[in-house]
Structure 1
Amino acid sequence: MSDLLPPVICLMGPTASGKTELAMHLADRYPCELVSVDSALIYRGMDIGTAKPDKDTLLRYPHHLVDILDPSESYSAARFRADALELTRDIVARGRIPLLVGGTMLYFRALAEGLASMPAADVGVRKEIEQIAASEGWQGVHARLAAVDPEAAQRIHPNDPQRLQRAYEVYMLTGISLSEWHRRESIEKAEAKGSHDNFLPYTMHYMSIAPLERRVLHDRIASRFDVMMRQGFLEEVESLYARADLNPSLPSIRAVGYRQLWDYLDGKLSLDDSVERGIIATRQLAKRQMTWLRGWKAEIDWFDSLDPNRFDQALKRLERIAI
């Protein structure tokens, strides 16, 4: 282990890329404690649709920050940062290595850089929105915005392309609505007041695992969604739907897959359409995650999900950096 600052491993990647499997292999070799960086795994009773590790796996490889909240509760990037820093300090104090694993890139960024403002404009995403406007009109962009951020859509006129573009751009980049960003901004600033020193007293090692070809990831997402449906994903959402204290405005129900099946139970979609939209939403999430990763400021070690030597390569990389 390095004589410098204590090491922290951050294992990132898009959904369905094999992060948990790689994390378990690393934990078999090193004295790691796993910390989940996933905004959906925090919820109890949301197991199938989040691809939460099963009970046997969690017994063998315990994950911090899994099953810590009821779906009726909310969680913020500021709260994650505070929780993750406390856990990291405790894990290091025990002489072990924190291994943060997940795909909620906003949480990783909050940890690495502190609480940041909304993302800057992205030329590629703006071109994509302009292409949508060219084929569907700005009314079409407004309709898409209304589906993910009804509050902003109500405020922004369909003939206001500049504001429409920015609001939809923020969602495409982060998976979080502009309205939610505004709500969190004031809360997170209050929670982080007096804690604006972003220096982390650790040596941060960033790793990412993903298939080299986007088509492979798309196929894996579709296959996994099919498996989840056969495992009882719909029944899981039905149990949530039956609760009087849950509704589609909550972050838990807005999770990909859950909100589409909720629409089916609401009678807004057929089951086939809700499944298809769930798969599409998951692929869009993976695309946003890859956008975040490609724009990551620190160096990342990349591993191919389909490379049979990926586990050995990751171990050798950690050996070279003296963990």
Structure 2
Amino acid sequence: MSLMTRPDILRYTAFTTDPAGGNPAGVVLDAAALDDAAMLATAAGIGYSETAFVTVADRAARRFRLRYFSPLAEVAFCGHATVATAVALAERIGPGPLLFDTPVGEIAVDTAQDASAEPEGSVTATLTSVPTRSRPASDTEVSASLAALHWSPGDLDPALPPHVAFGGNEHLVLAVATRERLAALDYDFDALAEVMRRHGWTTLQLVWREAAELFHARDPFPIGGVVEDPATGAAAAALGGYLRALGALPPAGAFTIRQGQDLGRPSLLRVEASTTDPRVRVSGQAVAIAGVRASTGEGDV
């Protein structure tokens, strides 16, 4: 990567207003000059679970092309990096609707400034996913995943059966019966990565349902070179589609996901789904991480 192509890298953490919480993402708002190798090297140098790259920008039309890279590979869609990018753009060109062209299709994002939010004037971004889908997981998929997690079938919640759900990426959804089981997550990194590569899953969406409108989640991400995501917007969208498929949505269709507490990076994701629209809306805030210099993998930027 030459000096001419070194990008200006922003760092935001999504689904929080606390720089010490949420899920950090790299954001490159002008990546037009970067090729695939340069984007991968930049994402690897940053070291976050994903970095979003704006490769085409039409600020007048508020339309942008996004690509996403983990430290190891390109990812088709990433919810938390989408929210981070939307907030970064809204802070620069003003709040309002945005349209992102992504590898999985068009993603509309509404951004709004909330004078009552803390900190005052924080921007909230609400993405609308591509159409979701969900299917029962096979016995083979479940047994291999449980073995890598060091879990047993008795750890699962029988009211929420295992599914493979899609909200831009595919995720295996496993619901546990207790918060204690979720908190004690200690899995075999290499074994789970192999299961996920075999089936094409991006994360596992491990959840505990505290109430109809409140879930706790943990998302291992070994195939991206990251032990766990503190907040996962794409998996949140997939969970909305999963609950719709089961007929288990709350009456109003809205619920909250708390994620990241067990990592010391608490995150809050708000999800809205309906029985008439296959898409799901996921909302959250994001905040810049100050005082951090990013690396492209070839030296500081």
Q: Smaller-chain TM-score range? A: under 0.3
Higher helix share: 1
Higher relative contact order (CA 8 A, sep 6+): 1
Structure 1 or 2: more strand by fraction: 2
